[in-house]
Structure 1
Amino acid sequence: MNAIQKTKNAANAFAKNWANFVIKYKWPVLLLTILLALGLGSQGKMEFDGDYHVFFSESNPELEAFDALQEKYTKDDNIIVVLAPKNGDVFTRKNLTAIEELTAEAWNTPYSSRVDAVTNFQHTSAQGDDLYVDDLSYDSANKTDDEIKEIREKALKEPLLVHRIINTEGSVTAINITVRLPGENSAAEIPEVTIATREMIAKFQEKHPEFDVYTTGLVPLNTAFFESSQKDLMLTMAMLLIVLIVTLVLTRNFFATLATLVVVIFSIISAVGFVGLNGIKLTPPSAVFPTMILTLAVADSIHILITYLQKVRKDGLDKKAALVESMRLNFMPVFITSLTTVIGFLTLNYGDVPPFWDLGNIVAFGMSMAFLFSTTTLPALMAIFPIWKSKKAQKESAPKPGMYTKLGEFVIRQPVKLTVISLAIIGMLTYLASKNVFNDEFVEYFDTTVQFRQDSDFINENLTGFYNVEFSIGSGESGGINNPEYLQKLNAFEDWLEEQPEVVHVNAFSEVARRVNRSMHGDDQSFYKVPQNREEAAQYLLLYELSLPFGLDLNNQINVDKSESRVTVTLKNNSSAEMIAFSERSEQWLKDNAPASMHSLGVSPTLMFSKLGFRQAESMFKGNIIALILISLVLMIALRNVKLGFLSIIPNVTPVLVGFGLWFLLKGTINTGMVIVFGMTLGIIVDDTVHFMSKFLRARRELGYDAKDAIIYAFETVGKALVTTTAVLLAGFIVLSTSSFALNSYMARITVIIILAALIIDFILLPSLLILVSKKEEETVNAPEMQMQLDK
């Protein structure tokens, strides 16, 4: 008992001495904190990385498999330029000429290694015993009507073109530009390609307004990531304005608002320095760190300021006494809430998505600095600023406690009834939370206001799918792709793939072998099958390759020693689970129907993103458990009671369950960004619990109130602060929810629901539980045994 009392007294003495020190040396403290913030900020360097590879850790098995495939063949970073002539017919003399022009210009794209279009498609035909390979349409301006009609017929019968380069109606066509990025500086290379492509398209549309132009592909995807990062960073300015307005309205004090502004700016500047010192490149998930720090840092300041203003306005204390008392009451609760928030964000490192590691580390550092500035810069500024004590302010503040008193009286009248109803609602929503379906379609990472999303949706609906799965099918020997048995199995795999309902197009070497075999037999359709003789197949392939122009060879389809070939399957936009199921089904077909050398894993960026969320969920589970354990231990130590420590888990965990339950009713699907919500919000919502329980226990242990009176005391002293901090948090995450990047906007939207649920639970369920628990304890436990370290 004495040890607990001494610890409590020591904590309070430290807080008072700290406050007195800061107030006494307010100018030196202010100067030192300014120098600290500016010193850290001077090291700041914000660079953006839009490469989709940043979403995958180096040990990610899907990334390793995809990189291995790209090493065997040419890399397929690409820009797909889709042309939709307004007359609805690609095959007119004027339109084909325009497509030829743009195809030729596309070769000038930085780092371009290949350009595929309907006009330069390498069409094979027989001339006697010779194989003739040439562009499907060249010198289109001088073609006759009959020749253009023949070009149309050939194109719309060509399996390698339909649903890939041209649609079945011949009304939309694509030019696929393959680029081989050096990979030395994606932050410079991707914008370089993007700028050149946009300039090329702008010139084309100026010259040919009869075309609508759309772009998609991996380079535009990277660009969309890059531009989303920059746009989300700009949300900070909007958030800053909103926070200032909300803080001013709720505190009704200009100097308190100004001091809060200084604290959040110093916290953000320090975080920017952390980014620069650690060489972190910002991505869409991590670029929102200023908004998060701004929002969370305000919560620290609000509790100190609200108590300070109450002591001045209601209790009539002078400025210094009010500041010291506010610091005494709030130092440890603010420290505990800052600590739990830091723990929550640091657990993001357990995930499998590096940008979220960066977000967690940056925000954790920013919150550590926010605590420092809230307990130094803030009281120093308030000690310097004048305090206005007006009768008007006192009159205005009078109704506020009445509202919270009435809420407290409502709860203490029916704690059992409120507990039963609350737990029933939470139970129902927890059940609904389990019904959410995981879906991570990366095209839908962007909302419909983003040009990349609009263009990709048009292309998916009118030409081809954007999602694909690739297989590298081995033969087991050098030159083995010419083995008739290999070709037959490959052909069978191609046929099976085309029968699958989600498949839009299949690009396999077996189609090339069939086409060349037919041409080498006088274009006889009966020979449209893979060669039956290995030597014949090898000769045909060699002859075909020698006939191909530079840049349009088969390096993107067969490896150097001709032991493996690449199968690319284009799919409709499917959910993550459907993508994974298709890949596994295809892999199983190879295991069941082909020799071991032909067994292959499906890989592609789309498949990687589909699996990413599931991997993130699995890896974050451990982090969430650790966060829950650590935060619960912190609260047990702070409360000096295991039972209350366990009790605090209920209001800290249930808001997340309620949030996902309500999300099921609103949306029903979750993405990678939402997987981090448990660990992230756990630290945030502890704020309400800690401050409410600290005031409840102060009334019980120091003032000698019974449980019901202690509840009313807690509502009166901390109710306004909790509402104020919740309002600021809601404002911040509502601003973030307007992000065009779904990983951020969805995460922000469900966080808004969780934060609101946390306030309601802490105002209804928590006090009800405290009353019920206290009734049992009052019979057996003496009050001092429940002493708390947070405050007196």
Structure 2
Amino acid sequence: MLYKKLSYSVLLLIFLFTCLSLFFISRLRFDYNFDHFFPKHDPDLSFYLKYREKFGNDNDYLLLGLSHPKTLFDSTFLKKVDSLTTFISQLRHVERVQSPTTLSSPIIESFGIFEVPYLHVNQPERYRQDSLAIYQSEGLVGTFFSPDARSVTLLIQTSPNLTKLPSDSLLLHLKEKLQQINLPDYHIAGKAVAQSIFVDRMQYELALFMSISIAMVVIFLYFTFRTWWGVVMPLMVVLISICWAMGLMGLTGTNIDVMTMLLPTIMFVVGMSDSVHILTQYVSEVAEGKSKTKAIVTTVKDVGLATFITAITTAIGFLTLLTADIGPIRNFGVYTGIAVVVAYLLSMTMLPAMMMLMPLPPRTAPKKEAFTWPFLLRRLLLFVFKYRNRILAGTVGIILVSVYCISLIRLDTTLLDDLSDDDPVKLDFKYFEQNFSGVRPFELYLKAVPGHTLYELPVLREVEEIEKYLGSQYGLKFIFSPVTIVKNLNRAVNGGSETFFKLPDTEIQWRKLQSKLKLFRKRPELNSLVSADQTEGRLSGKMGDIGSARATVLTDQFREFIRQNTDSKLLLTHVTGSSLLLDKNNDTLTRDLMEGLLLDILFIGGIVGLMFRSFKMIVITLLPNILPIVLIGAFMGIADINLKVSTSIIFTIALGIAIDDTIHFISKLKLELLSGKPLYYAVKRTYLTTGKAVIITSCILMAGFCTLIFSSFEGTFYVGLLISLTLLFAVLSDLLLLPILVVYFFRPKTKVAGKVAQKQIQNQ
């Protein structure tokens, strides 16, 4: 009676905490912000934030591409584009629109400045002349007009740091207008598009994966225990642990992003392990005729330490993600690690309480020998011992081949790496790369040394040389800088002739031009390129999304060019921008997470060392679990899977999860050895008693992670695929390699005892 009252009290307390968690879960919001993936303590981030305060964000824009099946110089098409431009400029959250129909060439005369449009939209008879002028003007083709004269681009400058709701509203109005004026062949790219699409998909996939995970776990649990309580109890433990972890996220104001979205799905499979081991042991104790209370006490005693250690090692696997300097990665590691610990605590409190209140599971009649787990596991163990030398030789060969394959892995990522190549959003981005200058931003900070300004002719020539290098060697297009302003000014005072789209040849010519510079003060591009005191400025451009690996090489070469060819007594520069930070992010994150993996190995080794007081057992425990990590690295090298943000986190997570089965094995082995059993017999007993739970939990884990391969996010797909493969390699390693390592390292003290024990195994 006392145990039942205590069980009711435990369940009531858990219920109250769950209700409180549900309240905080209601505060959770979905979020996808590129800025959150910047390395928090990187000096370049601090520089970029200050730079952004002066010159604005480099990704607060939308690109709208419009295509015509024949030629863009069609009166009906251009009038629609002009009408759309007027509509967009009046939308909320739009600060400025640069459109082919509103572009103009300034001309400065004695009476002031005049704007001559490049396109006379309402005068079709001038289209031929306009087209000649446009395609002879530097800076228009490939930016606003496609080289094949079939597409145009509108550059829409949006309000800074738009969140999802205003982004959705802006895109909705834009698409409605496009449909209304019958412009079906359009493409949209930009931060607002990515943010809107990513958040919508996160919400959908969170619900989808939770549903699939629940269904798969229910099926596995039912076929394992064949009772309704064998399904409900573990499911309740995991659901409540997820609820508490997400409630903590709501309490601390952490939003759901592309990383924390994985928490529920991962916990459905990871958090199930302890419950399965406990219930499997409980059913075995009941089958031996023990009472309910004694069966529960024996179960907690036998598997309590093992489940505690597995919970700690799994939590450590996630918590080592704190070595990353990226907010979403750290949040994912912290809250998932906490959820793992919560799942363990609930398994050791809530699960025994429910078992105490539930009726005893039925004692099933013995099955035919050929269909029992002991029979199958005994045959497998005999196979392992019979061919142990071949298994060891094969393992060594596999490791050698894997080391070579690992060397094939590349460090690389792109701006939309999480999307598949045939995703509509990614296809839109590729459209701008193929027809225009691309979507990857480039930013270069310019600063005149004290005593000089950016509008001095020698300084401008230094900037022009940088522009030439970036255009010819770096692949940059759509370049704007103080040089652009001066070239436009020179052309404007010379009747708009393209011949004068250049810097002045002499200081005298430049002094004459400088008096006209004030006429450009009201032009928006002037304020966004040069500071008020004319000592600071920016060089901005667009290019194709070439990937972080190639971009890093080009940036290093560019810095070397600056060092050798730019006069540091006139001009100082600093490469910055969101793209640079994302490139650095990939390199630093991979390095940090590799350090986290090493830290994970050290923690696990320390825990095993405390358990057995033996360095040999540390080696025995780690080898079967490092091997799957090595195999996954080899698989990535063979399959040409790049090492990036989404794939680098897999190693620490997989190690923390995969080692659980090994911990259960060696914990049971320790109990058998302490009871005085010979080594071979202890290995046999351990293999037969833990083998079933090891295989079942591994199948649940693999099936659960396999659900992630249906994700539209490439990163989530690889998390599902690679961790599933890691778990498959881990269970094979535990079943085939671990018993051999134990026998080789822990031989019986007397050879006679060892031979007798080995003979006993073969005879049974």
Code of the residue aligned with 1:754 in structure 2: it is: T
Q: For 1:293 and 1:97, how far apart are their aligned partners in 2?
A: 55
2:318 counterpart residue number = 345
Contact 2:369-2:375 at 8 Å conserved across structures: no
Q: Indicate which of 38, 59, 63 corresponds to 2:45.
A: 63
2:141 counterpart residue number = 162
User: Residues 727 and 347 (structure 1 numbering): CA distance in 2 closer, same or farther, change over 3 Å?
Assistant: same
Contact 1:408-1:711 at 8 Å conserved across structures: no
TM norm structure 1: 0.89
5+ long unaligned stretches in structure 2 = 755-764
Q: For 2:753 and 2:107, how far apart are their aligned partners in 1?
A: 96
1:417 pairs with 2:417: no
1:48 pairs with 2:35: no
User: Residues 620 and 535 (structure 1 numbering): CA distance in 2 closer, same or farther, change over 3 Å?
Assistant: farther
Secondary structure at 1:169's aligned position in 2? Answer: coil
Q: For 2:166 and 2:359, how far apart are their aligned partners in 1?
A: 54
Q: How does 1:377-396 map onto structure 2 within 5 Å?
A: 377-389=350-362, 391=364, 394=367
Q: Indicate which of 80, 83, 86 corresponds to 1:101.
A: 83
User: Residues 212 and 541 (structure 1 numbering): CA distance in 2 closer, same or farther, change over 3 Å?
Assistant: farther
Superposed CA offset, 1:667-693 (max 9, x none): 331211222222222221120111111
Contact 2:62-2:190 at 8 Å conserved across structures: yes
CA drift of 1:369 comes to: 1.0
2:129 counterpart residue number = 150
Q: How does 1:67-146 map onto structure 2 within 5 Å?
A: 67-125=49-107, 132-137=114-119, 140=121, 142-145=122-125
Contact 1:77-1:179 at 8 Å conserved across structures: no
Q: Indicate which of 672, 689, 697 corresponds to 1:717.
A: 689
Contact 1:268-1:290 at 8 Å conserved across structures: yes
Q: Indicate which of 708, 711, 714 corresponds to 1:739.
A: 711
CA drift of 1:324 comes to: 2.8
Q: For 2:519 and 2:167, how far apart are their aligned partners in 1?
A: 31
5+ long unaligned stretches in structure 1 = 1-19, 783-792
Q: How does 1:437-448 map onto structure 2 within 5 Å?
A: 437-448=410-421
User: Residues 431 and 242 (structure 1 numbering): CA distance in 2 closer, same or farther, change over 3 Å?
Assistant: same
TM norm structure 2: 0.92
Code of the residue aligned with 1:268 in structure 2: it is: I
Q: For 1:563 and 1:649, how far apart are their aligned partners in 2?
A: 59
Q: How does 1:577-656 map onto structure 2 within 5 Å?
A: 577-596=549-568, 597-656=570-629
CA drift of 1:357 comes to: 0.8
User: Residues 521 and 546 (structure 1 numbering): CA distance in 2 closer, same or farther, change over 3 Å?
Assistant: closer
1:749 pairs with 2:728: no
2:231 counterpart residue number = 257
Q: For 1:545 and 1:395, how far apart are their aligned partners in 2?
A: 96
Secondary structure at 2:62's aligned position in 1? Answer: strand
Contact 2:709-2:721 at 8 Å conserved across structures: yes
CA drift of 1:273 comes to: 1.5
Q: How does 1:447-466 map onto structure 2 within 5 Å?
A: 447-448=420-421, 450-466=423-439
1:671 counterpart residue number = 644
CA drift of 1:500 comes to: 1.7
User: Residues 57 and 614 (structure 1 numbering): CA distance in 2 closer, same or farther, change over 3 Å?
Assistant: closer
User: Residues 22 and 271 (structure 1 numbering): CA distance in 2 closer, same or farther, change over 3 Å?
Assistant: farther
1:563 pairs with 2:545: no
The worse-fitting range, judged by mean Cα deviation, of 616-625 and 485-494 is 616-625
User: Residues 32 and 756 (structure 1 numbering): CA distance in 2 closer, same or farther, change over 3 Å?
Assistant: same
Code of the residue aligned with 1:143 in structure 2: it is: Q
Q: For 1:397 and 1:176, how far apart are their aligned partners in 2?
A: 72
Secondary structure at 1:554's aligned position in 2? Answer: helix
1:694 counterpart residue number = 667
Q: For 1:780 and 1:163, how far apart are their aligned partners in 2?
A: 84
Secondary structure at 2:503's aligned position in 1? Answer: coil
1:244 pairs with 2:218: yes
Q: For 1:438 and 1:600, how far apart are their aligned partners in 2?
A: 27
Q: For 1:288 and 1:327, how far apart are their aligned partners in 2?
A: 30
Contact 2:58-2:578 at 8 Å conserved across structures: no
CA drift of 1:560 comes to: 2.0
Superposed CA offset, 1:537-585 (max 9, x none): 46646646636876x4422222222223322232222121111111222
Code of the residue aligned with 1:299 in structure 2: it is: S
Q: Indicate which of 181, 186, 189 corresponds to 1:213.
A: 186
1:310 pairs with 2:290: no
1:179 counterpart residue number = 158
1:30 counterpart residue number = 11
Contact 1:469-1:583 at 8 Å conserved across structures: no
Q: Indicate which of 419, 440, 445 corresponds to 1:472.
A: 445
Q: How does 1:1-40 map onto structure 2 within 5 Å?
A: 25-40=6-21
Code of the residue aligned with 1:428 in structure 2: it is: V
Q: How does 1:760-775 map onto structure 2 within 5 Å?
A: 760-775=732-747
Secondary structure at 2:575's aligned position in 1? Answer: coil
User: Residues 679 and 296 (structure 1 numbering): CA distance in 2 closer, same or farther, change over 3 Å?
Assistant: same
1:363 counterpart residue number = 336
Contact 2:589-2:645 at 8 Å conserved across structures: yes
CA drift of 1:270 comes to: 0.5
User: Residues 599 and 582 (structure 1 numbering): CA distance in 2 closer, same or farther, change over 3 Å?
Assistant: farther
Superposed CA offset, 1:252-300 (max 9, x none): 2221111011101110111112112222122111221111222211011
Secondary structure at 1:175's aligned position in 2? Answer: strand
Which 4+ residue blocks in structure 1 deviate beyond 4 angstroms? 20-24, 125-131, 390-398, 523-526, 533-536, 547-550, 776-782
User: Residues 135 and 395 (structure 1 numbering): CA distance in 2 closer, same or farther, change over 3 Å?
Assistant: farther
Code of the residue aligned with 2:384 in structure 1: it is: V
2:491 counterpart residue number = 518
Contact 1:419-1:769 at 8 Å conserved across structures: no
Q: For 1:155 and 1:402, how far apart are their aligned partners in 2?
A: 82
Secondary structure at 1:249's aligned position in 2? Answer: helix
The worse-fitting range, judged by mean Cα deviation, of 216-225 and 763-772 is 216-225
CA drift of 1:466 comes to: 1.6
Contact 1:22-1:379 at 8 Å conserved across structures: no
1:271 counterpart residue number = 245
**Between the two proteins, what is the percent identity of the paired residues?**
21
CA drift of 1:362 comes to: 0.6
2:470 counterpart residue number = 497
Secondary structure at 1:89's aligned position in 2? Answer: coil
CA drift of 1:721 comes to: 0.7
CA drift of 1:335 comes to: 0.4
CA drift of 1:651 comes to: 1.7
Superposed CA offset, 1:21-80 (max 9, x none): 866732222222222332333333312232211112432233223223222323344343
User: Residues 557 and 195 (structure 1 numbering): CA distance in 2 closer, same or farther, change over 3 Å?
Assistant: same
User: Residues 474 and 328 (structure 1 numbering): CA distance in 2 closer, same or farther, change over 3 Å?
Assistant: same
CA drift of 1:635 comes to: 1.2
Superposed CA offset, 1:106-137 (max 9, x none): 22333322211111223234768975324433
Secondary structure at 2:138's aligned position in 1? Answer: coil
User: Residues 311 and 576 (structure 1 numbering): CA distance in 2 closer, same or farther, change over 3 Å?
Assistant: same
Contact 2:269-2:700 at 8 Å conserved across structures: yes
Secondary structure at 2:185's aligned position in 1? Answer: strand
Contact 1:509-1:566 at 8 Å conserved across structures: yes
CA drift of 1:97 comes to: 1.1
